[in-house]
Amino acid sequence: MLAVLSPGQGAQKPGFLATWLELPGAEARLRWWSALSGVDLIHLGTEAGADEIKDTARTQPLLVAAALLAAEHLPLYDVGLVAGHSVGELSAAALAGVLPAEAAVTLAGVRGREMAAACALEPTGMSAVLGGDEAEVLAAIEAAGLHPANRNGAGQIVAAGATEALGKFAAEPPAKTRIISLPVAGAFHSPYMAPAERALAALAGGVTVSDPARILLSNLDGAAVVHGREVLQRLVRQVTAPVRWDLCMRTLRDLGVTGVIELPPAGTLAGLIKRELKPYGVPEIVTLNSPDDLPAARDLIARHGVAPSLEPTPLFRVVVAASAGTFQPAEGLDEGHDVRTGQIVGQIVTRQGNVEVAAHAAGVLTEWLAHHDDPVAPGQPVARIGGHQ
């Protein structure tokens, strides 16, 4: 399986979009998206300096636009999974077919402006906590009145909160840790961003969505989200919720992802995957930073993606598990039975309770891909529903 990943804030570099503007139609596309997002994406991606593109209000739409611009030159119909880190989730949602590209760029513009405004309300920030025992680090963050805003795996947890509390936390760090203050505008992915979440929710209510056309992982818990409306709700909620990229990488591992393409500005997520998945086997990775990298990305898709066919074939829809646990098919539902849209075809038994699995299209239950008490991972196919073209 091949995954396409969209990076988040902090991955940007001055001038990183310059070479992409040489592609036909790229400049016109960015001018249109600039009008939607309220920032000059061409200037920001080509001429702006490091300080200007650190501005949250500018960075977020720039990153979403960059990922979508590059993805337009890839054969995405062969891609099985997409995910994004923080604001990169908007890009991923568009690549999954949940949102139009225009909606993703517009939401990124609003998200960036509102989060920047929330940062200005009081002095807050973020610090990376490297090393230490995970449970002890989390307990210490809570005891200091801070929030674990980002868990990137590889022994790194990012604490967010009031500047004064961060200072005291750094002065008395947990055992065997190193604290690094991050050059960010405020306490992202924490309750301090509540005003931004409310503003984004007010706008998101008017966005038309579709269910994902491929596996789409959520930063909230690393699970595959199968309802378009739930994707949108999670995108809004993520403004104040922690980014669990560690769980997203665990799902990549559980699903047996063999190839990864990181969209521009690429490198950050590739580095995390190399460190976190090293004990299990690192997927083949292409970091897509310029049009010169497109041939390597297309080759990776050809070798690790789903092979297309021009022959008339049955049209199948795969029902996937939304969480980890053990699968239990619905009683009395057998292969060959008709299934209606929204029908419960089974449930995932988890420690937190049972999660229902519903069919998102009508058809015939052609094949069970998971059986009674089989362990399943988020995004793992459990049933195939088919008809004919």
Domain co-membership, 240 together with 261: yes
DSSP assignment of 175-202 = TTEEEEE---SS-TTSGGGHHHHHHHHH
Q: Average model confidence (pLDDT) for the chain?
A: 91
Domain co-membership, 198 together with 328: no
Domain co-membership, 331 together with 236: no
Domain end call among 133, 157, 181: 181
At 35-88, the pLDDT tens digits run 999 999 999 999 999 999 999 999 999 999 999 999 999 999 889 999 999 999
CATH number for the domain harbouring residue 164 = 3.30.70.250
Q: Quick check: is 190 catalytic?
A: no
Neighbours of 83 (CB within 10 A): 31
Select which of 85, 147, 189, 304 is catalytic: 189
Beta carbons of 306 and 336 less than 8 angstroms apart: no
CATH number for the domain harbouring residue 43 = 3.40.366.10
pLDDT at 310: 34
pLDDT at 143: 96
Domain co-membership, 233 together with 221: yes
Q: What average pLDDT does the segment 163-192 reach?
A: 94
Residue 64 lies in a domain: yes
Select which of 6, 86, 91, 127 is catalytic: 86
Cα angle 12-17-18, degrees, rounded to a multiple of 5: 135
Token pair of 387, please? 């008809």
Q: Which of 4-13, 331-340, 350-359 has the lowest mean pLDDT?
A: 350-359
Domain co-membership, 222 together with 90: yes
Task: Decide which of 199 and 355 is more confident.
Answer: 199
Which alpha helices (DSSP H) does 205-314 contain, by range?
228-237, 245-254, 268-276, 294-304
pLDDT at 155: 85
Number of domains in the chain: 3
Domain co-membership, 152 together with 166: yes
pLDDT at 387: 58
pLDDT value at 262 more than 50: yes
Residue 133 lies in a domain: yes
Domain co-membership, 106 together with 197: yes
Residue 36 lies in a domain: yes
Token pair of 71, please? 């993805």
Residue 288 lies in a domain: yes
Residue 186 lies in a domain: no
CATH number for the domain harbouring residue 354 = 2.40.50.100
Q: Quick check: is 337 catalytic?
A: no
Percent of the chain topping pLDDT 90:
74
Which one, of 109, 356, 92, lies nearest residue 231 by Cα?
Answer: 92
pLDDT at 73: 94
Domain end call among 159, 181, 203: 181
Neighbours of 303 (CB within 10 A): 12
Which one, of 97, 107, 32, 22, lies nearest residue 63 by Cα?
Answer: 107
Domain co-membership, 45 together with 127: no
C-alpha 79/C-alpha 260 separation (Å) is: 10
Domain co-membership, 108 together with 128: no
pLDDT at 293: 97
Q: Which of 88-97, 99-108, 118-127, 358-367 has the lowest mean pLDDT?
A: 358-367
Domain co-membership, 325 together with 205: no
pLDDT at 342: 80
Domain co-membership, 79 together with 209: yes
Residue 309 lies in a domain: no
Domain range for residue 223?
A: 2-118+191-304
Domain co-membership, 156 together with 54: no
C-alpha 229/C-alpha 7 separation (Å) is: 23
